[in-house]
Amino acid sequence: MKPMAARCFLTRWATSRWKPNRCLLRAIQERRYRPVGDKSDRSFNVRIIAATNEDLEVAVSEKRFRQDLLYRLHDFGITVPPLRDCQEDILPLAEFFREIANKELECNVSGFSSEARKALLTHVWPGNVRELRQKVMGAVLQAQEGVVTKEHLELVVTKPTSPVSFALRNDAEDKERILRALKQANGNRSVAAELLGIGRTTLYSKLEEYGLKYKFKQS
């Protein structure tokens, strides 16, 4: 079965009112379907990729999702963490979206101010990458040229609902995480401490302990 035909079939299934769940289960299980009006089945070979922002196990227990459908779809699962737990990705993504915005909006913005970078790194990002893209695009449009400032980003201050990914966990990982946080914060220890979820005094103690006190210029 060709990809276009598969998409047509799935679209027809999704809009059908005639036992859609049973039709889909059979198609996934047997890799066969019967077009409307035909008297015989046809086979197809597709890979189904499904995404959700819900815990489907919970949805099944609450009878909001079919368990048999979950079993057929869930051969292999990938959990994508929220953007707030991927601090090292924020600035590279912001730069990527800045370049896109420059091209699409015909602007000439060269980067982000230090305050804007701090705001990007400490924001919770409830809307994840979509929110980051929207904020950067809007900021570039406002700035037009020069650098994006904190004010251009128009970020609403919110409290995080979960620890950031830089949070210290054990002695074996502390040094690497501190280095990553300092690098993301461009050596700014206040920002690095905020990313790590610790106080500045604790960070200074860790820097002394791991011989990192003079590795980054203090700011």
Confidence of residue 133 (pLDDT cuts 50, 70, 90): very high
Q: For 171-209, give the CATH class.
A: mainly alpha
Residue with tokens 């995480």: 177
Q: Which residues pair with 111 in a beta bridge?
A: 147
- pLDDT tens for each residue of 58-100: 888 998 888 888 888 888 888 888 888 787 899 999 999 999 9
Domain boundaries along the sequence of the chain: 3-73, 83-153, 171-209
Residue 207 pLDDT > 70: yes
Q: What is the pTM of this model?
A: 0.58
Strands 108-112 and 42-43 turn out to be unpaired
**Minimal CA–CA distance to 26: which of 43, 12, 11?**
43
Q: Is domain 83-153 classified as CATH 1.10.8.60?
A: yes
Residue with tokens 């990729």: 49
How close are the terminal C-alpha atoms of the chain, in Å? Answer: 61
